[in-house]
Amino acid sequence: MRLQLEKQLLLFSLLCTLSKVCAQLCQRPCYCPVAPPRCPRGAPLVLDGCGCCRICARRLGEPCDLRAVCDRSQGLVCHRGAAGTGTCNFEDNEEGCEVNGHVYRDGEVFQPSCKLQCRCWDGGVTCVPLCQEDVRLPTPDCPFPRRVAIPGKCCQEWVCETRELPQAAAPRIPGLPYPCEEWSTEWSACSATCGMGFSSRVSNQNRHCRLQTQTRLCVVRPCQALPPAAPAVS
């Protein structure tokens, strides 16, 4: 019975002290600035502890008191000490993370941008990329790969550029997206020693720059006419 009475007296004295502090901090009538304050990113405008003027809500780790209130939308409360001032923290004393002015709860998964997915864990933030970071080497069909931003897409994509090279270094075949170095063998001997024949070679001088066997007609010399046949003797 005596212990319960002492608790009630302690609570009553604490309420009296708070009411006196509130009376000192909260003046009536209210005198507020004409223009509301400009708050940092992520800090909303709320009524102060006196219910009088609009102020910027305090964020995680910022100082607070009976008048400067914490951001309740983020689950923050003011953990005050004996002097009446305190620090904004989560109501259940969980560790949190603040990224770009926004407070995330412990274990919460979020995306600060379309390229990252992060997680708040033990007061720290770990992130993994959502875009592939692969490396593309030059190939004959894509000699100059380059990453570019595509309108409407978050991640960059590979595109193949076409660059003009000096004519002496690598001739370009029309319609081919990459330089083609011409190569061919010598023409073979004519297939006929006289009259019409053909010779062949292997070359890549074509529209696809592929090795192919090419054939052409050839004439070494005309063939001699056969002597006329002797008339038959009856």
In the prediction, which pLDDT does 46 show?
92
Tell me the pairing of strands 196-203 and 144-148.
unpaired
Task: Set out the domains of the chain in order of their start, with CATH numbers.
Answer: 23-90 (4.10.40.20), 97-129 (2.10.70), 133-160 (no CATH), 182-222 (2.20.100.10)
Each residue's pLDDT, cut to its tens digit, for the chain (234 residues) gives 444 444 444 444 444 444 444 555 677 788 888 888 999 888 899 999 888 899 999 988 889 988 899 998 888 888 887 677 888 888 765 667 888 878 888 888 999 888 899 988 877 888 888 888 777 777 777 878 888 888 888 998 888 876 654 444 455 555 565 667 777 788 888 887 777 777 888 887 777 777 788 888 887 777 776 666 666 665
99 touches 111 (CB < 8 A) = no
Q: Is 52 helix (H, G, I), strand (E, B) or coil?
A: coil
In the prediction, which pLDDT does 95 show?
67
48 touches 68 (CB < 8 A) = yes
Q: Is 64 helix (H, G, I), strand (E, B) or coil?
A: strand
